[in-house]
Amino acid sequence: MYKTVDLRSDTVTQPTLAMREAMLAAPLGDDVFGDDPSVNALQAHIADITGKEAALFMPTGTQSNLCALMTHCERGDEYIVGQLAHTYRFEGGGAAVLGSIQPQPLTQGATGEMQLTDIAAAIKPDDPHFARSRLLCLENTWNGHPMRLAYLAQATGLARERGLATHLDGARLFNAAVATPDAGADAYAAARHIASYFDSVSVCFSKGLGAPVGSALCGSRALIARALRWRKMLGGGMRQSGVLAAAATHALDHHIERLAQDHALAQRLAQGLAGIDALTVRSAQTNIVFVDVTGGHGPALLAYLAQHGVLATGLIGLRFVTHLDVDEAGIDHALACIHQFFKTQAGTAAPAQAAGSAVY
């Protein structure tokens, strides 16, 4: 019998034993009063890592991004964002619904970049007929692609020249840092380099880093003071949240360098799929592999995989995400199942257990 190989997202990880012990030992206070020492320590730690003056612990990345948007923009303002960016497409329209902020979505290329000419053209003149263009929002990584440093410099430089603030949805900032070798001598330095282009950065602890809950918004002291008010309004004030902050701190201290292992497993998966004519692999630069399936076989493949203990998603093409709860044996089992599915579709006989699969 196979153990379930859950490749739906890097959010499905379970806290490690060491992380649970850190949570149990965390000194606690009341964070709404600002006196939870574990939360305060985490906020200082992530602010230092990202090179910002301050940080604010949030329950979710969606809330962290929303607080950033509502802090940078007022009602009737506009933020420029990618057509497929998470803050625009996958966060429930919160900026528009709760912040009265108009999104200006732009077409993105295969690596998530918006054309600089499109960004420039989207910035509105100072005229009462138009929403006020106030913010450029980028995402790194985007669909598993780390943004080029040259692009970050050019896009944020353009925004500043035109009077816009800049925000980074860095849910997987550390995946980007590990996969951008020219960004810094180590992952911390690389993350700081990437964050340096932006006025604010949202970092998620519950994705690649493996904490059970939490994100942080990082920026200037003045920005974080304003964001604190929005967090309260949005229901993000928590009490003895140092239990959660301790997990995030443990993740920062122990789970960043190991992200390279997740990237290697994603490469292993992508390379193993390369020989299947019905599949086109679209990304495997970090820990996310997107796969297009010809012939309308996507739903059937997902169902077949689930029956054989492999979970994936099919929202925007098939998506497989590696993380700290996946190993080589799990990837090999997933590959064996996928190959077996297409052998079955082709009507050819296949052995009961394909080569390279692993029994748990």
Give the pLDDT confidence of 50-103 residue by residue, as tens digits: 999 999 999 999 999 999 999 999 999 999 999 999 999 999 999 999 999 999
What's the confidence (pLDDT) of residue 360?
19
Give the pLDDT confidence of 197-239 residue by residue, as tens digits: 999 999 999 999 999 999 999 999 999 999 999 999 999 999 9
Q: Which amino acid is at 183?
A: A
Under a CB-based contact definition with an 8 Å cutoff, are residues 233 and 67 in contact? no
Under a CB-based contact definition with an 8 Å cutoff, are residues 25 and 247 in contact? no
Closest CA to 221 of 65, 36, 71: 71
The CA distance from 43 to 45, in Å, is 5
- pTM tops 0.85: yes
Instruction: For the chain, give the percent of residues with pLDDT over 90.
Output: 88
Degrees (nearest 5) of the Cα angle 47, 50, 53? 40
Burial class of residue 70 in the structure, from the number of CB atoms within 10 Å of its CB (0-12 exposed, 13-18 middle, 19+ buried):
buried
Span 345-355, average pLDDT: 44
Residue 97 makes CB contacts below 8 A (sequence gap 6+) with none
Number of neighbouring beta carbons within 10 Å of residue 115: 13
Give the pLDDT confidence of 290-349 residue by residue, as tens digits: 999 988 889 999 999 999 999 999 876 799 999 999 999 999 999 999 999 998 876 543
User: What domains can be seen in the chain, in order of their start residue?
Assistant: 17-254 (3.40.640.10), 258-345 (3.90.1150.10)
Secondary structure, 3-state, 171-230: CCHHHHHHCCHHHCCCHHHHHHHHHCCCCEEEEECCCCCCCCCCEEEEECHHHHHHHHHH
The first and second tokens of residue 24, run together, are: 């149990």
- The neighbouring-strand residues paired with 77 are 132
What's the confidence (pLDDT) of residue 347?
55
The 3-state DSSP class for residue 287 equals coil
